[in-house]
Structure 1
Amino acid sequence: MSEVLVQRGYVPAGTGQMHYRFAGQSGAPVLLLIHQAPSSSVMFEAMMASLAEDYYVLAPDLPGFGQSDSLTISNTIADWADALKGFCQEITGAQTLAGVFGHHTGAAVATEMLYRHPQIADSLMLSGPTLLNQILKNILPEKARAFPASADGLHLLGMWQRMQGKDTQAELSLILRETLLGLGMGERYPDAYAAVIDHDFQRAISAITQPVLMFAGSADPLYSVLDDAFSCVQQGVVTRIPNTTSWVCDRQPDVVCGLIRRFLSRSRPADSAGGKEEWSCES
């Protein structure tokens, strides 16, 4: 099998442009992948190369991230959800997406997107759902504070240590990539985390009627809210990936892609638990 090429492009987005990656054949069912902060669509390259065998995969940089221009309006989860609705219309027209997958910040945006635009996709898939409890809301602002540039360069070390602390076993190339993306946010670094704190995830996820796949790695900071988040889902599947951090899409793309394929190809559960089930997952 020949190597799948992940390509890149831009589309108009308000007063600027949105950068995105894409892979697969344009006639195939469409998957939209939404990244976490402060990363970009680059975090999905390994997943895209795999999923492109069966789907046309789109992964935009959220406005203000990666190589996308910032919005000129406010930067809320709802603003980004609407921007991605426009992005999808630009690329696919009126075609309904097979699914929307979001990770961390992307999970909040994906959920709000289906809440605000229910006809846009047939399914929702969330890694690290953002139903934040008060403990997470209290600690997140400190963990997301910006590192202002300083002449001694300590802001470089500060961002490196923050990224390395997310997964001490991660490859240095991954830590470096995320460090540079974080530094590129500058003083805007905390904005996405503030947007997630302000977002009413429970309202949005509770209203969604499409089937939902929800999971988190056992070493992911959002693992602690997985069960509470899934209790809000009307129908879907929950699972847990052992010994995995918030960089699961980079470090275990085959596991995540396997879950996505299994979920999108499954028949509806026949149990009496309101169309909800739990899967075991081997990493």
Structure 2
Amino acid sequence: MQITRHFVDVGTRRVHYRRCGDGPPLIMIHQSPRSSAEYAPLMRQWGTQFTCLALDTPGFGQSDALPGTPDIDDFADALVATLDALGLDKVAAYGFHSGGIILVAALKRHPDRFHGLAVGGYAVWTDDEMRVFAESYLPPFQPTAYGEHLTWLWNRILEQSWVFPWFDVRDATRLSGAHDDPVKVNDTVMDMLAAGDAYRAGYGAVLSAPRDVPTPDSVTPPVLITAYDGDPLQAHIDRLGLLPASWLARKVATPADQQAASLAFLAELAQGSCPVLAQAEDEGFVTVTTTDFDGQLHWRGAHVDLPGFGLSDDWPGTAPETWAPWQAVIDALDRPVTLEPLPRGGPDKLYPDFTPDRFGSHLARAWGIARARALFDPWYAANARHERPIDAATLDPDALARDTLSILRAHAAKAFHIARQQGGC
């Protein structure tokens, strides 16, 4: 089942979302510091019953951040403003962890906009826990000249599957689902790199949000809260206290059980059909289908990211090293494509392997290349003959961070270079 991607303008902000399936609209709000990308597998499952609409919350993924120091009410109101911009009146919604906190805040402020919610894991912190989180959980995430921040980031994301919170390394805080899967870690790292220091605003609003569950006599849309064995928030089910009659909370055994319970609950709530949704006029994604490629390409203004670059979908399997498949994609587009000159140098040296490994060394490799190519052309020829004039702006850590993210997203760069050489382009 195909997932399409879109942008919509919400006032002066731009919001990115993913769409999949058919049926009543279902809003899906991700946990921090992830993006709507984390819901791709679930969207393909649930898309048989709903039009799944997974939003990037403000400051995460490809959505613009909220100004200033927003609180949970600002995130809740931003969600409802996005519903307005999309043309959605009343929806069912699903959120996991911090996504659930945003949804509950939105439901309390705008109950008329929701048929109901399913929430996976709802945190109810004690005062002491709130104090510890406030002190240690959200350090600034600022790029450093030589990329030291990337080592911290990789290990912070990796070890959060070992202990929770990540900075409290004790036997008592160990998690049962520990892993060292570099692909899983890298998915979260890439979302964190896209968010940058804005992650603190989103996370901070959620961590400091009041957990005032409506009183038992309150009349609200129905809510289901579930948490599975191994989820550090499962114990928080016992902290919820008395709930409104329309609210349910229970512990389940596995993530699959948690999703199945949520699906069954939401299926009873979702209503209507999904209207035609508003989209931004100067940026979006176009679906392209050829013999070798079937996916979405990102465009903004006159620029198009080819497969395996930027925000565009990757080639299935290995990117082609012959020019014909690339030309077929370009011919299938409804807009012109300008090919920039190839960088100097041999593709084998220009594009080393960036496959994520156990220790995240690919991140340091990409940062080192970003820094070196600000000084030499080609970047790997560090000698007087290949010096570039030094421009301090290109060595600014924020500029290097943007360049590094571009390098890490360019999965097809080597194949593209080889194909263009062979095709004479």
Counterpart in the other structure of 2:416 = none
Q: Could you tell me how far apart the structure 1 residues matched to 2:98 and 2:19 are?
A: 20
Higher percent of residues as helix: 1
2:152 to 147, 158, 163: 158
Counterpart in the other structure of 2:239 = 228
Structure 1 residues 23 and 256, CA, compared in 2 at 3 Å: closer, same or farther? Answer: farther
Q: Could you tell me how far apart the structure 2 residues matched to 1:191 and 1:57 are?
A: 26
1:114 to 107, 119, 124: 107
1:136 to 92, 115, 129: 129
3-state SS of paired residue (2:212): helix
Q: Could you tell me how far apart the structure 1 residues matched to 2:198 and 2:95 are?
A: 21
Which protein is bigger by CA-based radius of gyration?
2
Counterpart in the other structure of 2:3 = 6
3-state SS of paired residue (2:64): coil
Q: Deviations over 1:183-234 (max 9, x none)?
A: 3333333222321233222155865622211012332332232222263343
1:209 to 192, 210, 220: 220
Q: Which amino acid aligns with 1:126?
A: V
Q: Which amino acid aligns with 2:228?
A: G
Structure 1 residues 51 and 208, CA, compared in 2 at 3 Å: closer, same or farther? Answer: farther
Q: Which amino acid aligns with 1:225?
A: H
Counterpart in the other structure of 2:12 = 15
3-state SS of paired residue (1:185): helix
Q: Could you tell me how far apart the structure 2 residues matched to 1:47 and 1:106 are?
A: 15
Is the CA contact 1:145–1:189 (under 8 Å) kept in the aligned structure 2?
A: no
Counting matched residue pairs gives 251
> What TM-score do the two structures reach when normalised by structure 2?
0.55
Counterpart in the other structure of 2:182 = 172
- Shifted more, 83-92 versus 38-47: the winner is 83-92
3-state SS of paired residue (1:39): coil
Q: CA deviation at 1:10?
A: 0.6
Is the CA contact 1:11–1:19 (under 8 Å) kept in the aligned structure 2?
A: yes
- Shifted more, 186-195 versus 114-123: the winner is 186-195
Q: Which amino acid aligns with 1:154?
A: E
3-state SS of paired residue (2:144): coil
Is the CA contact 1:146–1:189 (under 8 Å) kept in the aligned structure 2?
A: no
Q: CA deviation at 1:62?
A: 0.6
Counterpart in the other structure of 1:60 = 55
> What TM-score do the two structures reach when normalised by structure 1?
0.80
Is the CA contact 1:80–1:109 (under 8 Å) kept in the aligned structure 2?
A: yes
Q: CA deviation at 1:239?
A: 2.6
Q: Does 1:148 align with 2:142?
A: yes
Is the CA contact 1:112–1:204 (under 8 Å) kept in the aligned structure 2?
A: no
Q: Which amino acid aligns with 2:62?
A: Q
1:31 to 2, 12, 26: 26
Is the CA contact 2:58–2:202 (under 8 Å) kept in the aligned structure 1?
A: no
RMSD between superposed Cα atoms in Å: 2.3
Q: CA deviation at 1:170?
A: 5.8
Kindly report which structure 2 residues correspond to 1:253-272, keeping only aligned pairs within 5 A, or say none.
254-265=256-267
Q: Could you tell me how far apart the structure 2 residues matched to 1:9 and 1:204 are?
A: 35
3-state SS of paired residue (1:202): coil
Gaps of 5+ in 1: 245-251, 268-283
Structure 1 residues 208 and 177, CA, compared in 2 at 3 Å: closer, same or farther? Answer: farther
Q: Deviations over 1:226-279 (max 9, x none)?
A: 22226334333323244x6xxxxxxx4x44431122223469xxxxxxxxxxxx
Is the CA contact 2:5–2:19 (under 8 Å) kept in the aligned structure 1?
A: yes
Is the CA contact 2:227–2:258 (under 8 Å) kept in the aligned structure 1?
A: no
